[in-house]
Amino acid sequence: MRARSPKPKPHDPVDLRRIVRLFRPHRGRIAIVAGLIGLSALLGLAQPFLLREIIDVALPNDDTALLTYLVLGMVGAAMLGSVIDVWQSWQSNVVGQNVMHGLRASVYDHLQKMSLAFFTKTRGGEVQSRIANDIGAMQGVVTSTVTSLVGALTTVIATLVAMIALDWRLALATLAVVPFFVWLSRTVGDQRRRITAERQRRMADMSAMVEENLSIGGIVLGRTMGRGTDLRGEFSQTSADVADLEVRAAMAGRWRMASVQLAFAALPALVYWIAGYANARGSGFITIGTLVAFTTLQTRLLMPMITLLRLGIQLQSSLALFTRVFEYLDTPVDLIEPKDPVAVDASSVRGEMRFEGLTFAYDEARSGDALKGIDLTVPSGTTLAVVGATGSGKTTLGYLAARLYDPTGGRVTIDGHDLRDLSPETRAQLVGVVSQETHLLHATVAENLRFARPDATDEELRAAARAAQIDDLLSSLPDGYDTVVGERGYRFSGGERQRLAIARIVLRDPPVLILDEATSALDTKTELAVQEALDALSAGRTTIAIAHRLSTIAGADQIAVLDHGEVVELGTHDELAAAGGAYAALLAASRREPEAEPAL
């Protein structure tokens, strides 16, 4: 069974000021919303006072003119209030959606800046869940909850002021129960926050299962291993856990909140008793109009008060969501881009690449350095082949050459410029990578090729495809270059995907090329076709070929043999073969087993 995601470590409480800062760019609209909320609250308060005048003045005095004005005032206030509520709702939703957009964009932008190390340690489904599920669950909070909270709070305050103006004794009796209700809502909120954190963690597990098990590779693995029943059972259990947590979140504190509603429902009866008792004892006469107006205000107070309690609980629960999202935003960026990048004209770059005192370590979990004091120079237009046993550091060297990681010591330069001093756009213009695992988008062939150069013409696409020896195949397809490649390009064979990747790099036309075991997973016939395309692509470029099969690198200008992260031999094929060292041993092994060359 797959291990569940570990329970998150306790985090410091979210600084509410940080949440408030999300709304700062929208201060203008927020001011409009606040004004509309205040105006709506005042219009709502007009109703009880107009009602009191009707009962205490207009009706006893048979003043039909005053009665007409008062009734028109009540109707007009209700109509204007409805218009204001619609306007306020529109403004608050615009603010909320803009905040959501900003938060999503910030998380995506932050993750785009992370090195490859972050993604090797994080499940793809987890990242998707944080952006889709967690931020999606926050939508209600930032679009309506906050404005509803402000609106309810404004209404409560205005209503309490009006109550005090009508009769302070009745207002005091109403306020006596409020502290208990506030305490009750806080305890319920703490309970829901804990449940929400666990629910989001399990939803992340479920997203990861969907991404891993329902991909093409996941389906093939599950069926060929006979694990379909187990995978369905595991997903069903996780889904059941999420459903159970949803119910627990919905029902947490529901009986307590029901007692709040019951108490509020009993308050009007308490007001009637106090009014009757005060009138009977002669301690202060309360008119019928005042009593009706007060109970009307009390009814008006009931819903926003309950709304405040519920929204307070929702806000406390949402803190778990903000914690998870801010956790990603607070993850340190380990690839720091220069504030003032060196300006380099890609057309004038010769492409000489140097590794100077290069040292690299992945993390504490992998003891030792992956690379140790590498010093290599790849002159412009030449090819350096890198060979060595599995785990010797070949691929790591390629990652550093493309700045997918930063070295822990030393530096990598192109024409003397440290890669860390160049902008991401400049590096992408200078260094192209063709790896063993070709990544294609679920889009058309043309769209995949134009990912390298969006402004490329159709003829340039065809020229790149011809250079990669795949134009004939693409032209023979019913939809040609408009053929959708499918998820990760699975509608094409491994060799065809590699040639599409080569065509994409041809369009990019970088002066430096990294070939990361680009033919290791192919059969001999396909490898020959792809190797021809790679040879054509490498012509005139500075090339670093991380080799899997020795037969593909015999013509390299230099061959570096890595062993446990160090260069143990460096020279041409003939020189190293004659030296009788590590390379000669690898060559002898490949000759003994020509059909199963060792993974180098």
- Residue 198 in tokens: 């666990």
Query: What 3 state SS string does 498-560 have?
Result: HHHHHHHHHHHCCCEEEEECCCCCCCHHHHHHHHHHHHHHHCCCEEEEECCCHHHCCCCCEEE
pLDDT for res 289: 74
Hey, which of 11-25, 141-155, 378-392 has the most confident mean pLDDT?
378-392
Q: Angle, to 10 degrees, between the axis of helix 64-112 and the axis of helix 27-53?
A: 160
Find the DSSP H helices in 113-215. 116-121, 124-129, 135-137, 139-140, 146-166, 168-175, 178-213
**pLDDT of the residue at 594:** 47
Q: State residue 253's pLDDT score.
A: 56
Percentage, residues of the chain above pLDDT 70: 77
Nearest to 88 by CA among 142, 144, 138: 144
- The angle formed by the CA atoms of residues 301, 304 and 308, to the nearest 5 degrees, is 130
Which residues in 12-98 belong to E strands, given as ranges? none
Model confidence at 216, pLDDT cuts 50, 70, 90, reads low
Single out the residue of 11, 7, 6 nearest to residue 327, CA to CA.
Answer: 11
Higher pLDDT, 559 or 18: 559
- The pLDDT of residue 56 is 82
CB 193 within 8 Å of CB 320: yes
**How is the beta sheet containing 383-388 ordered, strand by strand?**
431-435, 512-516, 542-546, 383-388, 558-563, 566-571
Query: Considering the domain 351-440+512-592, what is its CATH architecture?
Result: 3-Layer(aba) Sandwich (3.40)
3-state secondary structure of 4: coil
- Which amino acid, residue 405? Y
Q: Measuring CA to CA, which residue among 148, 138, 26, 24 is closest to residue 88?
A: 148
Class level of CATH domain 17-329: mainly alpha
What does each C-alpha distance from 472 to 452, 477, 496, 519 come to in angstroms?
A: 21, 9, 11, 21
Q: Is the pLDDT of residue 355 over 90?
A: yes
Q: Does residue 458 or residue 159 have the better pLDDT?
A: 458
Average pLDDT over residues 260-272: 67
What's the confidence (pLDDT) of residue 1? 45
Sheet of 353-360, strands arranged across: 371-378, 353-360, 409-414, 417-418
What radius of gyration do the chain's Cα atoms show?
35
Does position 227 have pLDDT exceeding 60, yes or no? yes
Domain boundaries, the chain: 17-329, 351-440+512-592
Of 5-9, 56-60, 515-519, 551-555, the poorest mean pLDDT is in 5-9
Average pLDDT, the chain: 79
Segment among 274-288, 420-434, 509-523 with least mean pLDDT: 274-288
Given this model, what pLDDT does residue 292 score? 75
| Interval 525-545: pLDDT, tens | 766 777 777 777 788 889 998
Angle (nearest 5°) at CA 150 between 147 and 152: 105
- pTM flag (> 0.85): no
Tell me how far apart the terminal alpha carbons of the chain are, to the nearest angstrom: 33
pLDDT in the model for residue 6:
47
Q: Give residue 364's Cα distance to chain centre.
A: 26
The pLDDT value recorded for residue 283 is: 61
**Per-residue model confidence (pLDDT) at position 354:** 95
Whether 599 shows a pLDDT value over 70: the answer reads no
| pLDDT mean over 442-455 | 89
Segment of 193-202, 253-262, 311-320 carrying the highest mean pLDDT: 193-202
Distance CA 512, CA 381 (A): 8
- Tell me the CA distances in angstroms from 58 to 50, 70, 302, 334, one per residue in order: 10, 9, 28, 75
The answer to which of 231-245, 285-299, 336-350 has the lowest mean pLDDT is 285-299
